[in-house]
Amino acid sequence: MENKKMTIGLFSGSVDRLTAAGVLISGAAADDMDIDIFVLLQGARAFLKGMGDTPEKLGMSENSEMKEEFLESLKKLNVMPWMEFFRAAKELANVKIYVCGLAGKVWGGEKVEDFDEIVDGIVGIGECITSMEESDIHLFI
């Protein structure tokens, strides 16, 4: 039987939404799903080298005053940082992470080497759309 496939268009670069995406992909990886993640616009900034391990450099999606409370709560609950969810999922299942070429350029990342080592490549938006067409589940975060 073929694995189910999930595709995520990851637009957000906020620490709360990246954490939520990390939890989702971890669950999907634990269910042995194939996962394609296409990092778009603001999301690409979070995947630049050095950014993923510094959540304090990232914003919040809605109420920026809650950022410190959110980060403290994650720490108190011993929840791993968002980037660790992504790394763990890649070790568990077939998870591919692609940065949209335009998004990378917006933040000064033109080569895959400009991004965290978990990024598998830089692609055009057509690959994202094709992946979504072929997926059992597709999300936009």
Domains annotated for the chain, with CATH where assigned, are 5-32+42-140 (3.40.1260.10)
Maximal CA-CA distance, the chain: 47
Beta carbons within 8 Å of 50's beta carbon, 6+ residues apart: none
- Look up the pTM and report it: 0.92
**Cβ pair 90, 118 in contact under 8 A:** yes
| pLDDT tens digit at each of 141 positions of the chain | 688 999 999 999 999 999 999 999 999 999 999 999 999 999 999 999 988 777 777 888 877 778 889 889 999 999 999 999 999 999 999 999 999 999 999 999 999 999 999 999 999 999 999 999 999 999 999
Q: How far is Cα 78 from Cα 35, in angstroms, rounded to an integer?
A: 25
> Over 5-16, what HEC string results?
EEEEEECCCCHH
Q: What is the DSSP letter of 49?
A: T
